[in-house]
Structure 1
């Protein structure tokens, strides 16, 4: 995966993954989440947003795409097909440039592959940056 190779080569996480604040649905950054899983990272830098800040519409015909439907799907795990929704942010996502060393598990912990329901304890705040564990279920949007 090209993104995984880039992250490894640069040893940096450059752009946070955009999550909906309450449901933790991934608005933008599905490839980042997959790269984090491949790299077995403990955390992913995230930007927590509300749908009143982001516009969303369907990219595929025949799908109901509302913020309520996206959140419902995030909670139930009923995934959209890839590229079904298109999120438009009011500005570019910020650059964070976080060292990969800060995102890796400590040497004593073993990587987990178990899926857990989204809840608040998967988030850690460090200053203005939120970090999410990459093992949580996401909705493809």
Structure 2
């Protein structure tokens, strides 16, 4: 299975799961600290709904990225299970949920990629990221902001 990514507009991706916003906050801080996007999102090649990467997609939208590394696949290439013991999820159920506009709870679907999806390494600037004055206060705890202000004097 080829797992090369292409840059794609994150606004055209369709989420199918809710996210844990504390996880989104942590992930956003890591991505901003790195200044790079290191893991592509996987999405269905025709319907554009997210298979894996809902938290990353939420970060991309928060950062107002123009592009996002995305690997597009079909279900003949992916095994679907659930993170929840005793629960099963099928591709048909995922299609139904995606088309309805409703979302599964966080960590419901588990997409298994064999072989694993390759990492990427894309500078945030290549994805359309520009530092906003409000992103400094939103991205760093207050003690880090005070250090940055002190060092910029």
- Smaller-chain TM-score bracket: 0.5 to 0.7
The answer for the alignment partner of 1:78 in structure 2 is: 102
The answer for the alignment partner of 1:12 in structure 2 is: 36
Decide whether the 8 Å contact of 2:63 with 2:129 is kept in 1: no
Count of paired positions: 106
TM-score (norm 1): 0.67
TM-score (norm 2): 0.63
Gaps of 5+ in 1: 107-141
1:43 to 57, 62, 67: 67
Question: Does residue 68 of the first structure (1) align with residue 92 of the second (2)?
Answer: yes
The answer for the alignment partner of 1:99 in structure 2 is: 123
- Distance, in Å, in 1 between the alignment partners of 2:56 and 2:82 is 22
2:114 to 87, 90, 109: 90
How far 1:60 sits from its partner (Å)? 3.3
Gaps of 5+ in 2: 1-24, 131-153
- Distance, in Å, in 1 between the alignment partners of 2:36 and 2:107 is 26
Decide whether the 8 Å contact of 1:23 with 1:75 is kept in 2: no
How far 1:62 sits from its partner (Å)? 7.7
Find the residue that maps to 1:7 and give its secondary structure: helix
Would you tell me which structure has more helix in proportion to its own residues?
2
The CA RMSD over aligned residues, in Å, is: 1.9
